[in-house]
Structure 1
Amino acid sequence: MCTGIPLQVIQNDGLRALCGDSQDEQWVDMQLVGPQEEGTWVLVFLGAAREVVSANRAKNIADALKALTQVMNGTLEYDQSLFADLNDREPELPEHLKSQLNPVNSTTR
């Protein structure tokens, strides 16, 4: 499984950039998203930026990863703030599954 990590551009060096979060800094391949300004958030998979994301989206992803780490360590105490984007929201099925919710009209014989 490959997990995207949100990192912020610290220093731009053409098609690579020094990116980091509160715990780590690393050089990231920027070829798929192009050069980005300092302060821009990118989603990084296997050392390459795959998507430019907003600061809010980066925070939501980082919070979800924090919760996942706590679950894996057996230390999670439910904290709604870690899934702020899911609070007060009904789950939604993907479009291809919504049609399966409607019961097929059957006739009695």
Structure 2
Amino acid sequence: MCLGLPMTIVETDGMSALCQYGNEQRRVSVMLLSEPPVGAKILVHIDTAVRLLDDDEARLIAVALDGVNAALNDNDCGHFFADLIGRGPQLPEHLR
């Protein structure tokens, strides 16, 4: 399974950026993006920023990752996915 992390740019030189997610910092390539500024939220996959995120989407991804972590550690994870309880799977708009 491949996951992307929602990270925040701490500093950048235009080609790479020091980014943070929780307590972890790592340097990632930002060459696929058009010079994202410090403070921007980005989706990082295999140390490469693949797209910009708005604050709400970054928060939702972080909450989902916390839920997966809770499930993997045999902790209650239902509250992390409260928006999914009581409804069936839904296709993205572009696939309907």
Is the shorter-chain TM-score for this pair beyond 0.5, marking a shared fold? yes
Count of residue pairs the alignment pairs up: 95
The structure number with the bigger radius of gyration is 1
- TM-score, length-normalised on structure 1? 0.74
Residue of structure 2 in register with 1:83 after alignment: 81
TM-score, length of structure 2 as denominator length = 0.84
Give the deviation of 1:12 after TM superposition.
1.1
**What RMSD over aligned residues (CA atoms) do the two structures have, in Å?**
2.4
Q: Which residue of 1 aligns with 2:90?
A: 92
Cα distance in 1 for residues equivalent to 2:64 and 2:28: 22
Higher strand share: 2
Aligned-pair CA distance for 1:86: 4.3
Distance 1:46 1:77, change over 3 A: closer
What aligned pairs does 1:1-109 form with structure 2 within 5 A after superposition? 1-79=1-79, 82-83=80-81, 86=84, 91-93=89-91
Structure 1 residue 41, shift from structure 2 partner: 0.2
Q: What is the CA–CA distance in structure 2 between the aligned matches of 1:50 and 1:28, rounded to whole Å?
A: 10
Structure 1 pair 6/90, CA: closer, same or farther in 2 (3 Å)?
same
Identity, in percent, stands at 33
Unaligned runs of 5+ in 2: none
Residue aligning to 1:107: none
Cα pair 1:16 1:35 within 8 Å, conserved: no
SS at match of 1:50: strand
